[in-house]
Amino acid sequence: MSFANLPSNHFLAQPRPDSLLPQHAGLVDTTTLAAHDFDVDNRTGFMPPQPPMKRLPLTWEVWESKLDAAVSQRLQLAERVEKMDEQRRITETGKSRAWRNSVSEMPLLLTEELKRSERALRRAHHVLSWLLHFYVQTIPSTESLLIPRSITIPLLQVSSQLQLPPVVTYSDDVLYNWAHKESHDENALPTIDNLRCQTTFTGTTDEAEFYLTSARIELRGTEALELMRLTMDEAFVGDDIAMCRITSYLERMATVIGELRQLLLSVKEGVDIEVFYHEIRPWFRGADGDPWGRPWIFEGRDEVEGWTEMQETSGASAGQSPLIQALDIYLGVDAESTQTSFISHASGKSFQERMRAYMPRHHRAFLNHLRGNQRPLRALVQKATEERCDSPILEAYNGALKALKEFRDAHMVVVALYIIGPARRAVKGVAHAAINDAMKPTPALNGVVPSERDEEAYHSVDKKETMEKTYNGYEDKEALKGTGGTDLVRFLKGVRDQTADAYLQS
C-alpha cells in the first residue's frame, strides 16, 4: 500500500512521532498504522525499490568525508596491526590515530533536520555506525574504547529515531548499502545481476560480494513473501479450492527456497575464506564481541534525551535478515519456543527475538504480524491431514520444510568453511599451504567426485560427515561466538535439527 496519494490531513499521512520529544495530548501515534505495508515492496521484498541515498546533504558532509578518509586510507584492524613488523606497525598505528583524532575533533552536528526523511535517517545511521566501527576496531588493545561525543550524540539520536541499536546492522551492510551497477535511471528496480556495494571496510571485492550475496537472497525471496501473502488470503477462505491453491504455493515455495540455497552457496565463488575470516568479519563485532573484553564507553550518552541503553549490543549477523525469520514463522518452525538453551542471560530473550531488535522497525512489525496470524499454515495442514491422511497438502508442506532444512545444511557448510575451519586453523597455527591442500577436492566417493562448487558435493555423504566432524570438534569446548553473540555451533545445529523435526506425519 502506498500513502503517496493520501490527503495531507489523513491520519496515515501524519508525520512519524518524534521519540525524542514529548507527545502532545490527542496526537495519534501512527507508527504502526503508517507501516501498514511494513516497508515491504511487492517487487523487491525487504530491499527498498529505490536506491539508498548515496550521500547526506552538505550540512553533514564532515561525516561523509571522514568515512571516505577511513575507506581510502585502508585503516587496519588493531589486532592485525599488532602482528605487523615494527616499521609497518608504527606507520599503521600513526595513521589510524590521526584519523581518530580528526573524528574526535568533528563539530557536534544537529540531527533535527534529518528527521524529515526516512532515507536520510537510514543514510545517517549507515555513515555514523561505520564511523563508530572504524573508530573502535582500530584502537590498540592497550587503550580503552572511549567513543567521542561527535559520534555518540548524533548516532544515539538517529538510532532512537529509527529504533535501531547504535552499531552496524545487517540493514546497514545489506538492505541499505547498494546502488545500481549499471543504470542511468534512478527509478530502476534493483535486480540480482545489477547490484554493487556503496561502502566496505576493507575495499576488497570479497567484502562487497559477501554483502551482495545476502542482497541477492533478499531479492529472490520476494516471491516467497508473495506466496506467504497468497497463502494467508486462501487460508481465510479455507474451502477445497483454497487448499488446492495453498498446496501449489507450498510446492512453489520449496523451489524458491532451493534457489535461495543456491545463492547462499554461491558465496564461495566471490569470497576468499581467509580474507573473510581474518580481514572482514572482525569489523562487524559489536560491544559484546571485543577480543580483549573492553566495554564500549559512549561519551555524552547521558545528554541524549529518550535514549534507552540496550542490555546487549552485538554485531551485524545473518540472523538479522527478516526474510529468513519470515520463512521460519510461515512454516511454523518456531525456534523461540524450544531453543531454551539460547535464551540470553542478559536480556532473557531468544536469539531470534534479540536479532529482531536490529531490524528496521517496519520489518519487525511485519514479522509480528506474521506471528500473530490467526490461521497458521502448520495448523491448517494438520487439520487437513486429520480429515484425510493422504491429503496432498501434507507432502507439499513437508517438501517446503525439507527445502528449508537443506538451506540450513548449506548455511552450516558455509559457516564450517568460513568461520569454524579458519578458527581451528588459527588455534593450531596451520600454515597457509596446508590450508590450500586441505581445500582440494577429495577422492571419489561412491563414484561421486566432491567439489565445493559442485551441487552434489555439498550433499555428498563425505561432505556431510566432514561438516559434522567439524562442528562436533567444537562442542563441549570454549564456545565459538557468532557476530550475533550466540554459541554459533550449537545454535546452527539446533535450528537445523529443529527444522527436520518439524516434518508432519500422515
Q: Report the C-alpha gap between 415 and 417 in whole angstroms.
A: 5
Look at residue 305 and tell me whether its pLDDT is greater than 70: yes
In what helix (H) or strand (E) does residue 133 lie, and over which residues does it extend?
A: helix 118-137
CA atoms within 13 A on the CB side of 164: 30
494, three cell numbers = 539446533
CA distance 106 to 99: 11
Residue 2 has pLDDT above 50, yes or no: no
Long-range own/partner contacts, residues 224-230 (CB < 8 A, 24 or more apart): 224/253, 224/256, 224/257, 224/260, 224/323, 224/326, 224/327, 225/40, 225/42, 225/45, 225/46, 225/323, 225/326, 226/42, 227/252, 227/253, 227/256, 228/326, 228/330, 228/370
Question: Higher confidence at residue 149 or residue 239?
Answer: 149
Q: In whole angstroms, give the CA distance from residue 152 to residue 303.
A: 10
What's at 380, amino acid-wise?
L
The set of cell numbers assigned to 142 is 592497550
Question: Looking at this protein, which amino acid is placed at residue 301?
Answer: R
- Residue that is written with C-alpha cell 561523509 in the block: 64
190 class by beta-carbon count within 10 Å (0-12 exposed, 13-18 middle, 19+ buried): buried
Supply φ then ψ for residue 259, to 5 degrees: -70, -35
Q: Using a pLDDT cut of 70, give the percent of the chain over it.
A: 75
User: In this predicted model, what pLDDT tens digit does every residue of 166-193 receive, in sequence order?
Assistant: 999 999 999 999 999 987 777 889 999 9
Q: What is the pLDDT of residue 238?
A: 87
Beta bridge partners of residue 297, listed in sequence order: 146
Q: What is the per-residue pLDDT for 374?
A: 87
Round to whole Å and give the CA distance between 437 and 415: 19
12 pLDDT tier (thresholds 50, 70, 90): very low
What Å distances lie between residue 459 and 177, 251, 258, 350, 435, CA to CA? Answer: 33, 21, 13, 30, 22
403, with CB counted inside 10 A (0-12, 13-18, 19+), is: buried
CB 151 within 8 A of CB 131: yes
Q: How many CB atoms lie within 10 A of CB 267?
A: 21
SS3 346: coil
pLDDT at residue 477, rounded to an integer = 43
With beta carbons less than 8 A apart as the criterion, state whether 112 and 154 touch: no
Helix and strand counts by DSSP (H, E) for the chain:
21, 4
At residue 93, does pLDDT exceed 90? yes
Q: How confident is the model at residue 378 (pLDDT cuts 50, 70, 90)?
A: very high
- Among residues 309, 281, 280, 308, the alpha carbon closest in space to that of 295 is found at 309
| Residue bearing the bigger pLDDT, 10 or 331 | 331
* 56 contacts 123 by C-beta, under 8 angstroms: yes
**Residues forming beta bridges with residue 146, ordered by sequence position:** 297
For residue 147, list its beta bridge partners: 298
- Strand 178-180 versus strand 195-197 pairing type: antiparallel
To the nearest 10 degrees (0 to 180), the angle between helices 205-220 and 240-265 is 170
pLDDT tens column, 469-478 = 544 544 434 4
Cell of 57: 546533504
Q: What is the percent of the chain with per-residue pLDDT over 90, rounded to a whole number?
A: 60
Which residue is listed with cell 524458491?
Answer: 256
At 482, the pLDDT band (50, 70, 90 cuts) reads: low
SS (H, E, C) 171-225: HHHHHCCEEECCCCCCCCCCCCCCEEECCCCCCCHHHHHHHHHHHHHHHHCHHHH
Average pLDDT, the chain: 81
* pLDDT (0 to 100) of residue 217: 98
Cβ-contact 129, 157 below 8 angstroms: no
Q: Give dist(CA 385, CA 382) in Å, integer.
A: 5
End-to-end CA distance of the chain: 40
Q: Considering only 2-6, 204-208, 424-428, which range has the smallest mean pLDDT?
A: 2-6
388 has pLDDT over 90? no
Asked if the model's pLDDT at residue 9 lies above 80, the reply is no
Ligand-binding site membership of 411 (annotated): yes
Which of 86-95, 345-354, 435-444, 447-456 has the highest average model confidence (pLDDT)?
86-95
Q: Which residue has the higher pLDDT, 390 or 233?
A: 233
pLDDT digits (tens, 9 = 90+) for 417-456: 999 889 888 877 644 444 444 444 333 322 333 333 333 4
| Residue 405 parent element (H or E) | helix 392-415
- CA 169 to chain centroid, in Å, comes to 7
Residues 6+ apart with CB under 8 A from 253: 224, 227, 400, 403
pLDDT at 122 > cutoff 90: yes
